[in-house]
C-alpha cells in the first residue's frame, strides 16, 4: 500500500504540466520572420534612393534637381518609416512570446511548488508510522526494505524537482530581463518613428516654400542662389574681421588628446562633401581665403542631426531672422565637459533650447538649407571651448553689414579644431 503511495508521489513530481499560450511560439516566429523579410526589402529600396540622391548631388544645381532630390528624400523617409513600423511590430511579437513564456514558467513554478508541498506533507504522515508497526505489519521485513528503497527514490525525486524549480526561476529572471530590454528598444523605435515623421513634414514644407519663393521658375531659383552666394561672401569677410581681433592662446592641456571616436558622427549616414582648413575649394577663393572652419556633410533636408557628445546647449539661433543676412541660418552650439564645443549649422529645425542637457546621439534638430547654404547640408565645427563665444557679428567690427545684428558663435581661427581628429 505504502509502496504504491510512494510511487504515485514520485510520478506526480516527475510529470511537469504544460501551458499553451494564446498564440503558439511557431505562429509568432512566422510573423516575426515576415516582418524581417519586409525590412530587408525596404532596406534595399532605401539604398537605391541613397544612390539616386548621390547621383543628383553630383550634377549642376537646378530647381528641378532640387525638387527631384526632395521627392527622392521623401520616398526614402517613407521607406525608413515603414522599416521602423515593421521593427516595432516585430518587437511587439517578441514581447508577446516572452510574456507567454513568463506566464508558462510562473504557472509551472506555482503548480510544482504546491504539489511538492502536498507530497512532503503526505510523506510526513507516512513517517508517523512506527518502525515496529512497519516491521510486524503486512509484508514484514521484505515490505519494509522495499518501502525504504522507494523512500530514497522519493527523496532523490524531491531533490531533483527542487533543482528544476531553481532552474525555472533563473530562466524566468532571464526572460524578464530580456523583456525589459525589448521594451526599452520598443520605446526607442517609437521615438525614432516620431523623428522620421517630423523629417517628412519638414521635407514637405521645404518643397512648398521653394515653389513659393521661385514661383516654379528656374531663373528665380538661380537668382536666389546668386543672392545667397553674394551674401555668403559678405558674411565671411565680416566674420573673419571680427575673429581676427579676438585674442586667444591655445592651451593643449585643456583639450582631449586627438583620437578616433572621441566624438560620434552627427549623422547616421556620413558623406563628407567639404573638408576642414586649406582645401582646394578654399584656395579657389572661398571662405575669404581663411580656410574652411569646419566640415560639411551631405544631409538631405529633414535628416535628424545628433549630438556628437553629451553636453550642455550653450546657445541656439537663427541668423535668417536678420533680413539680408545669410550666415549659419539655424544653428546649435553644444559645450562638452572635455574642453570641446561643437557647432551644427544650416538646420531646418532646432529641437533643443539653451541650457538643456543632451546626451550622445540625441536628436538636436534636423538638417536644412538655411543661412548661406546653397544646398542642403550640415556644417559641423569643433572649437576649443575656452576660445568660442556667442555674440553679435557686428560687435567690435566697426562696420555695418547685413549680419551685424545676427547672434552666432564666434572664435579666433586658432580655436577652430579639425573635426576629423576627433570623429
In angstroms, the CA 129 to CA 257 distance is 81
The position carrying cell 553674394 is 230
Which residues on adjacent β-strands are paired with residue 417?
382
C-alpha cell read off for 367: 538638417
In order of 51, 251, 279, 340, the CA distances from 422 in angstroms are: 28, 17, 19, 10
In angstroms, the CA 74 to CA 204 distance is 8
The CATH architecture assigned to 221-421 reads: Distorted Sandwich (2.70)
Phi-psi region of 205 (alpha: psi -120 to 50; beta: other; left: phi over 0): alpha
* pLDDT tens column, 257-316: 989 999 999 999 899 988 887 655 554 444 445 667 899 999 988 899 999 999 999 999
In angstroms, the CA 317 to CA 274 distance is 23
Q: Where are the domains of the chain?
A: 2-205, 221-421
The reported pLDDT for the residue numbered 145 is 52
Count, residues in the chain: 423
Q: How does DSSP classify residue 364?
A: E
* pLDDT tens column, 42-71: 989 988 988 888 888 777 888 888 888 888
pLDDT cut 70: percent of the chain above it: 77
Nearest alpha-carbon partner for 397 in 232, 278, 234: 234
Backbone angles phi, psi at 330, to 5 degrees: -85, 130
**Angle 63-127/2-14 helices, nearest 10 degrees?**
170
C-alpha cell read off for 154: 522519493
The reported pLDDT for the residue numbered 261 is 94
Q: How does DSSP classify residue 387?
A: G
Q: Tell me what the pLDDT averaged over the chain comes to.
A: 80
Is the confidence at residue 140, as pLDDT, over 80?
no
What is the Cβ-side half-sphere exposure of residue 2, based on CA atoms within 13 angstroms?
25
| Structural contact between residues 305 and 363, judged by C-beta atoms closer than 8 angstroms | yes
Q: Is 84 helix (H, G, I), strand (E, B) or coil?
A: helix
Q: Which residue has the higher pLDDT, 104 or 300?
A: 300
| Structural contact between residues 6 and 125, judged by C-beta atoms closer than 8 angstroms | no
CA 386 to chain centre: 30
β-strands 363-367, 340-350 pairing? antiparallel
- Long-range Cβ pairs for the range 148-152 (8 Å, 24+): 150/2, 150/3, 150/6, 150/7, 150/10, 151/6
| Structural contact between residues 418 and 293, judged by C-beta atoms closer than 8 angstroms | no
Amino acid at each position: 500500500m505504502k509502496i504504491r503511495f510512494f510511487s504515485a508521489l514520485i510520478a506526480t513530481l516527475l510529470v511537469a504540466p504544460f501551458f499553451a499560450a494564446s498564440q503558439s511560439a511557431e505562429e509568432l516566429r512566422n510573423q516575426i520572420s515576415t516582418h524581417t523579410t519586409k525590412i530587408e526589402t525596404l532596406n534595399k529600396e532605401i539604398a537605391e534612393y541613397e544612390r539616386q540622391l548621390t547621383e543628383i548631388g553630383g550634377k549642376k544645381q537646378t530647381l528641378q534637381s532640387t525638387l527631384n532630390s526632395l521627392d527622392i528624400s521623401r520616398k526614402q523617409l517613407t521607406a525608413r518609416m515603414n522599416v521602423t513600423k515593421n521593427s516595432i511590430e516585430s518587437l511587439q511579437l517578441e514581447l508577446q512570446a516572452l510574456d507567454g513564456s513568463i506566464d508558462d514558467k510562473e504557472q509551472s513554478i506555482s503548480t510544482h511548488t504546491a504539489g511538492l508541498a502536498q507530497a512532503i506533507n503526505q510523506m510526513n504522515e507516512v513517517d508517523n508510522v512506527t518502525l515496529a508497526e512497519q516491521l510486524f505489519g503486512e509484508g514484514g521485513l521484505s515490505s519494509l526494505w522495499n518501502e525504504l528503497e522507494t523512500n530514497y527514490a522519493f527523496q532523490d525525486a524531491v531533490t531533483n524537482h527542487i533543482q528544476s524549480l531553481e532552474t525555472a526561476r533563473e530562466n524566468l529572471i532571464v526572460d524578464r530581463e530580456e523583456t525589459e530590454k525589448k521594451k526599452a528598444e520598443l520605446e526607442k523605435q517609437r521615438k525614432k518613428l516620431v523623428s522620421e515623421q517630423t523629417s517628412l513634414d519638414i521635407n514637405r514644407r521645404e518643397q512648398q516654400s521653394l515653389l513659393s519663393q521661385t514661383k516654379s521658375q528656374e531663373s528665380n531659383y538661380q537668382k536666389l542662389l546668386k543672392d545667397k552666394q553674394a551674401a555668403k561672401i559678405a558674411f565671411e569677410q565680416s566674420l573673419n574681421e571680427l575673429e581676427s581681433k579676438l585674442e586667444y592662446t591655445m592651451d593643449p592641456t585643456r583639450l582631449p588628446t586627438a583620437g578616433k571616436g572621441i566624438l560620434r558622427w552627427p549623422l547616421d549616414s556620413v558623406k563628407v562633401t567639404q573638408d576642414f582648413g586649406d582645401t582646394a575649394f578654399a584656395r579657389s577663393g572661398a571662405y575669404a581665403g581663411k580656410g574652411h572652419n569646419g566640415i560639411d556633410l551631405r544631409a538631405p533636408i529633414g535628416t535628424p542631426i545628433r549630438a556628437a557628445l553629451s553636453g550642455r546647449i550653450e546657445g541656439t539661433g537663427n541668423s535668417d531672422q536678420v533680413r539680408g543676412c545669410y550666415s549659419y541660418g539655424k544653428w546649435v552650439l553644444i559645450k562638452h565637459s572635455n574642453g570641446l564645443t561643437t557647432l551644427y549649422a544650416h538646420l531646418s529645425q532646432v529641437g533643443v533650447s539653451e541650457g538643456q542637457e543632451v546626451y550622445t546621439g540625441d536628436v538636436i534638430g534636423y538638417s536644412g538649407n538655411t543661412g548661406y547654404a546653397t544646398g542642403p547640408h550640415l556644417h559641423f565645427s569643433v572649437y576649443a571651448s575656452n576660445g568660442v563665444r556667442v555674440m553679435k557679428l557686428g560687435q567690435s567690427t566697426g562696420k555695418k553689414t547685413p549680419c551685424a545684428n545676427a547672434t552666432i558663435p564666434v572664435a579666433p581661427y586658432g580655436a577652430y579644431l579639425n573635426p576629423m581628429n576627433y570623429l
